[in-house]
Chain A
Amino acid sequence: MNTTIRMRFSKTGRARYISHLDLIRCFERAVCRASLPAAYSEGFHPHMLTAFATTLSLGFTSNAEIMDLTLTEPLPGETVMTKLNAVLPEGIRIEEAGVPVSKYRELAFAEYRVEIPCEDPVQLAEDLEDMLAQPEIITEKKTKRGMKEVDIQPMLQVLEVQTTERMLVVSLRLASGNNGALNPSLVTKVLLEHSEIPAETPRFCRTALLTAENSKFF
């Protein structure tokens, strides 16, 4: 009997340069190295049954990635986690393993922690407030059919703003999933265009994937 295990994993350090397609291959190889009884699809080109909740942009870190792995025999989540962690590359770690609860298509929000190193974080925080106060935030977004004007205001929620001496740290909850998704890099791009504060390249970390009811995927 096939059983599916759901795992939450983190992607940190050098692993953030691994693209999504490369990450899938990396996990499949890890499953083989760990000698886990993976299930395969039927047909001429059988492939390992893995499924990822969503993609993570290249260069982002995360401690909230979700993947499913289907096995041909039931194994405790703890065992799968331990075996995989023994063979995964530096920067990729399974943090939790258990049974799937929600379906991936219920994904509605993703939360991010964004760090923007800059000269004047306090002023940048004010600029952010100004930006959010606008009735709409129009920007250009790259789509499959070219550049398109969008209003990101309805997809954007700021949870927390902190400043340190040289850095603005913002927690964001953004729309994610089939009903439209907003990439946090678009938010920082608009902010830095809007502001006159010189800043370095922001750093992004995904901190949660949530359903519309704010529940998690376990």
Chain B
Amino acid sequence: MNLLPRIESLLMQVQKPAQYIGGEIGSMVKQHEDIDVRFAFCFPDTYEIGMSHLGMKILYSLINERDNYWCERVFAPCADFEELMRANEIPLYALESLDPVREFDMVGFTLQYELSYTNILNMLDLAKIPLYAKDRGESLAPLIVAGGPCACNPEPLADFFDLFILGEGEEVNLELMDLYCDMKKAGASRQEFLRKASQIQGIYVPSFYEPVYHEDGTIKEIKILEDAPAVIRKRIVKDFDKAYYPKTFVVPFVETVHDRGVVEVLRGCIRGCRFCQAGFIYRPFREKSPETVNRQCRDICGSTGYQELTLSSLSTSDHSCLEELLTKLLPYTEEKHINLTLPSLRVDNFSEELMTKIQGVRKSSLTFAPEAGTQRLRDVINKNVTEEDLVRTASIAFAGGITTVKLYFMLGLPTETDEDAAGIAALAEKLMELFYQTPGHAKGKQPQISISCATFVPKPFTPFQFEPQIQQKELEQRQEYLISCFQPKNRKRIKVNWHQYETSFLEAVLARGDRRLSQVIETAWRSGCKFDSWSEYFHYDRWEKAFADCGIDPAFYANRRRSFDEVFPWDHLDYLLDKAFFIQENQTAHKEKTTENCRQKCAGCGVNRKTGRACF
């Protein structure tokens, strides 16, 4: 059922209507009669955010390479359009066919951040699909699935999904769809399909597992029902250099957050920062060869016409052949007037000449993420950046005419004291002075230094998964103390920003939550919560009421120190990482000792043993 006429009758009443109507270059339209399995790839946020996401681009093209499968895109409508959709009974639809999502075989959500969970319920509701998996009956379709980084602890969402896909989707998504295709033709039921699917490595069917709780609320054990595996191991692609990569992207009409060509140059991270979930769950570290990256850059830019290109990864300067790669790529980007950007570069890694070429003249500010204010605390979190690094980088930048410096820190890190907060102020003031001392700094201009302090959120599969999140009162005291540390003359010159505590608190609850939170998420959504990561939509009072109504104490999840032997809600999910490694890293952190990066020395996280392959 194509909804085009009904959608068009409303489009002139909404902001940026082009985002709701499809028809972009690169979008894949197929004939219904050729298709065996239809997949709706849902991003639980708006078009301009979702269309910036690389994972969706990869998996979209991957599925569409198969003639008999059709993957389409679905985003959360903005409030103005949602209101009109509801008033005019237009169900959530996919952008390629403009067919309702509920007519699809598989509906897949990507779980990118915890504060998008209410959007998932809102989208299921807009699609007129029952929220709870148990209410969706015996028929195979629509099967509601999810993957992405937050699938490493999907328990708060367990009741809403039929299955989760753990790890990288490039291979397992097609395996899953092949199984679905066969069983659909055989007329199988949902339950029969889930039983078979649970035997595929990387597929987690939550209804086959049942947590049993102690009286104190912690988990006693995870009971396995049916014939499901005791441990579900994440999937990784066998050969990253040869892994599937799209030759083209869907090119949006409306401007999106990251509206440019992207090529992923490496996956995983060698750094092992102890707060960083991405640094662990995407292991092992793997690189693409300079030839592969070059070919993919040319394919993407040639087919999309993008004039901006990003080499993306968690830490692009850790690519072992970056200089060679850029030497091959730069003549092409220059000829084609393509602006090449590299996020999170380390200045010390390669020549200044190359730096200038890449960043051109567009670079007007320097961004640095020391994360903590003192060397002691940077050692605790294993962020191996020294004040010297910062000073050297800033000197080069100031001498080059840069006047704006952005510094990113976290507050509420394990073992943190007021002294560490004072260190943040001291570092910023040191840079302020450094500016005036640097020969060749921009004359007649004041340096602009801004500090952003996020609240630390302990995450699963990190050495800090055992740690309590800082309490609101203590955090606010520390924030006040930090402000008091600035010399009066600097209080107006150095800008300090932070997010409200409640946002990070809710993120902490959901990140390490268990199945008892499903009803809280539902209650919060029913009371009007959605787009929780957008401050103008965030209503913590509604969440507070939802916790109270469900008899759940959120502090149990966020602010409690967890013992090393506690059974965690995600303990039956295997991300190739040993819990013993995290315990050891946690202890090393409390001894204020660093761990070398993976290239220097294997830290023994478990990945190489479990994959049977050396990382380097």
Residue of A nearest to B303 (CB): A33
Bound form: Cα–Cα A59–B18 in Å? 10
Knowing A89-B25, A90-B23 are in contact, say whether A33-B255 is a contact too (CB < 8 A).
Answer: no
Asked if B253 and A18 sit within 8 Å, CB to CB, the answer is yes
Asked if A19 and B18 sit within 8 Å, CB to CB, the answer is yes
Please indicate the chain A residues that have their CB under 8 angstroms from the CB of B251 in the complex: 29
Asked if A22 and B18 sit within 8 Å, CB to CB, the answer is yes
Q: Pick the contact of B304: A33, A46, A91 (CB < 8 A).
A: A33
Please indicate the chain A residues that have their CB under 8 angstroms from the CB of B254 in the complex: 19, 22
Knowing A33-B302, A40-B337 are in contact, say whether A25-B21 is a contact too (CB < 8 A).
Answer: no
Q: Pick the contact of B253: A22, A59, A87 (CB < 8 A).
A: A22
Please indicate the chain A residues that have their CB under 8 angstroms from the CB of B23 in the complex: 13-15, 89-91
Cβ of A120 under 8 Å from chain B: no
The main secondary structure of chain B at its interface with chain A is loop
Cβ of A75 under 8 Å from chain B: no
Knowing A17-B11, A22-B255, A58-B17 are in contact, say whether A32-B22 is a contact too (CB < 8 A).
Answer: no
Shortest Cβ distance from B297 into chain A, in angstroms? 14
B248-266 vs A, Cβ < 8 Å mask (1 yes, 0 no): 0001011100000000000
Cβ of A201 under 8 Å from chain B: yes
Q: Pick the contact of B25: A40, A87, A201 (CB < 8 A).
A: A87
Shortest Cβ distance from B341 into chain A, in angstroms? 14
Asked if B253 and A32 sit within 8 Å, CB to CB, the answer is no
Cβ of B336 under 8 Å from chain A: yes
Cβ of A127 under 8 Å from chain B: no
A26-43 vs B, Cβ < 8 Å mask (1 yes, 0 no): 101111110100001000
Cβ of B439 under 8 Å from chain A: no
Residue of A nearest to B259 (CB): A25
Asked if B22 and A14 sit within 8 Å, CB to CB, the answer is yes
Shortest Cβ distance from A72 into chain B, in angstroms? 12
Bound form: Cα–Cα A29–B307 in Å? 8
Bound form: Cα–Cα A40–B255 in Å? 22
Cβ of B305 under 8 Å from chain A: yes
Contacting B at CB under 8 A, from A77-98, are 87, 89-91
Query: Size of chain B's interface in residues, with CB distance under 8 A?
Result: 26
Shortest Cβ distance from A20 into chain B, in angstroms? 11
Please indicate the chain A residues that have their CB under 8 angstroms from the CB of B337 in the complex: 40, 46, 48
Asked if B18 and A18 sit within 8 Å, CB to CB, the answer is yes
Bound form: Cα–Cα A21–B301 in Å? 21
Asked if B17 and A17 sit within 8 Å, CB to CB, the answer is yes
Residue of B nearest to A30 (CB): B305
Q: Pick the contact of B301: A28, A32, A48 (CB < 8 A).
A: A32
Cβ of B361 under 8 Å from chain A: yes
B5-32 vs A, Cβ < 8 Å mask (1 yes, 0 no): 0000101100011100111110000000
Residue of B nearest to A59 (CB): B12
Bound form: Cα–Cα A201–B9 in Å? 9
Contacting A at CB under 8 A, from B47-104, are none
Please indicate the chain B residues that have their CB under 8 angstroms from the CB of A44 in the complex: 361
Please indicate the chain B residues that have their CB under 8 angstroms from the CB of A29 in the complex: 25, 251, 304-307
Please indicate the chain A residues that have their CB under 8 angstroms from the CB of B302 in the complex: 33, 35
Most buried by A among B22, B23, B362: B23
Please indicate the chain B residues that have their CB under 8 angstroms from the CB of A22 in the complex: 18, 253-255
| 11 further interface pairs, Cβ-Cβ under 8 Å (given A19-B254, A22-B253, A33-B305) | A14-B23, A15-B23, A18-B253, A19-B18, A22-B255, A29-B305, A32-B306, A58-B17, A59-B11, A59-B12, A89-B25
User: What residues of chain B have their CB less than 8 Å away from a CB belonging to chain A?
Assistant: 9, 11-12, 16-18, 21-25, 251, 253-255, 301-307, 336-337, 361-362
Supply 19 A–B pairs (Cβ within 8 Å), ascending by A. Answer: A14-B21, A17-B11, A17-B253, A18-B18, A18-B253, A22-B255, A25-B255, A29-B304, A29-B307, A30-B25, A31-B305, A32-B336, A33-B302, A35-B302, A44-B361, A45-B362, A59-B11, A89-B25, A90-B23
What 8 A-B pairs come out closest when comparing CB atoms?
A29-B305, A32-B305, A33-B305, A17-B17, A14-B23, A17-B18, A22-B253, A18-B253
